[in-house]
Structure 1
């Protein structure tokens, strides 16, 4: 019973703090001190690594799309090699810190083929949080890491347009 109350409190705290940021329609976040976007080079040679091709060949049937409503920990999201390799490639040097601080989680939610999952640092959700977006129609992955109001966005094939409704889920 105590564990359920603590979990409910943590989820409520996450919900309250994650709604604090409002996004403008031009894609920038208003509550940030700085915004950095990293996009992979579109002129680079075609990718043939197994991480990209696994999600690409089954864009409607991968760990994210198959598990809507479930929590990342329950489905061992970051133990899925194809998913973890893609996120690691995107986040680069920030991957280990992101993974270490992906403690308080939200379930996978979606809207119109765009999936979202979030996680933040236990006892410091506003201080360090990560949002991962997946566009199943375009097989595009975005990672957004917020460290004390300084947001860094990583995009595979460009920034995914996310509705306010999905942001608030």
Structure 2
């Protein structure tokens, strides 16, 4: 009986791991530049900082994104964080539910000079439905960009965040 229970547990664990790997493999197999942000969890690089950008985040800008660089949205339950989810919902309005439904294949949270980025796209149709979320911790500004088959809808709280090419390609 013990062998049967141990075997069932091992099989369940294997199924969960292989499903997660398959979802992440879907992103890397698309070959699009916009999805170059998907990296294994252990290969996240630390962004360069200088004396101007190394100011620590204040309490008002310390949030789920700034505290979880390198982690995947699903692992930290990003959209279950009420503060974050409410801001994104307020910003995207009627498109929020569709965006959330299609935020399946994810990139880890990356940052550069106080700007944080996370992306998610529709499983098996990443180039067709891609959401990019940017957060400027210095100005407490959130931007969301939803690309539906090349038609991009941009949403900005306090103006468009300037994103470097390096951050775009992470």
Identify the TM-score tier after normalising by the shorter chain: 0.7 to 0.9
Q: Describe the superposition over 1:77-131 as per-residue Cα deviations: whole angstroms up to 9, x where unpaired.
A: 0000000000000000000000000000000000000000000000000110100
1:163 counterpart = 2:164: yes
CA gap of 1:112–1:18, structure 2 versus 1, over 3 A, is same
Instruction: Quote how far apart the aligned CAs of 1:10 are.
Output: 2.0
Comparing both chains, which one has the higher relative contact order based on Cα–Cα distances under 8 Å and sequence gaps of 6 or more? 1
Tell me the number of residue pairs that the alignment of Structure 1 and Structure 2 aligns. Answer: 134
The runs of at least 4 consecutive aligned structure 1 residues that moved more than 3 Å come to: none
Q: How does 1:18-37 map to 2 (within 5 A)?
A: 18-19=33-34
Corresponding residue for 1:144?
145
Corresponding residue for 1:58?
60
Q: What TM-score do the two structures reach when normalised by structure 2?
A: 0.73
Q: How does 1:4-43 map to 2 (within 5 A)?
A: 6-13=22-29, 16-19=31-34
Gaps of 5+ in 1: 21-55
1:87 counterpart = 2:88: yes
Corresponding residue for 2:106?
105
Gaps of 5+ in 2: 1-13, 36-57
Asked if 1 retains the 8 angstrom alpha-carbon contact of 2:143 and 2:161, the reply is: yes
Instruction: Quote how far apart the aligned CAs of 1:58 are.
Output: 2.4
Instruction: Quote how far apart the aligned CAs of 1:8 are.
Output: 4.7
Rounded to whole Å, the distance in 1 between the matches of 2:24 and 2:148 is 24
Rounded to whole Å, the distance in 1 between the matches of 2:82 and 2:90 is 12
Instruction: Quote how far apart the aligned CAs of 1:138 are.
Output: 0.3
User: In angstroms, what is the RMSD of aligned CA positions?
Assistant: 2.2
Asked if 2 retains the 8 angstrom alpha-carbon contact of 1:18 and 1:126, the reply is: no
Rounded to whole Å, the distance in 2 between the matches of 1:115 and 1:99 is 19
Counterpart of 1:67 in 2: which secondary structure? coil
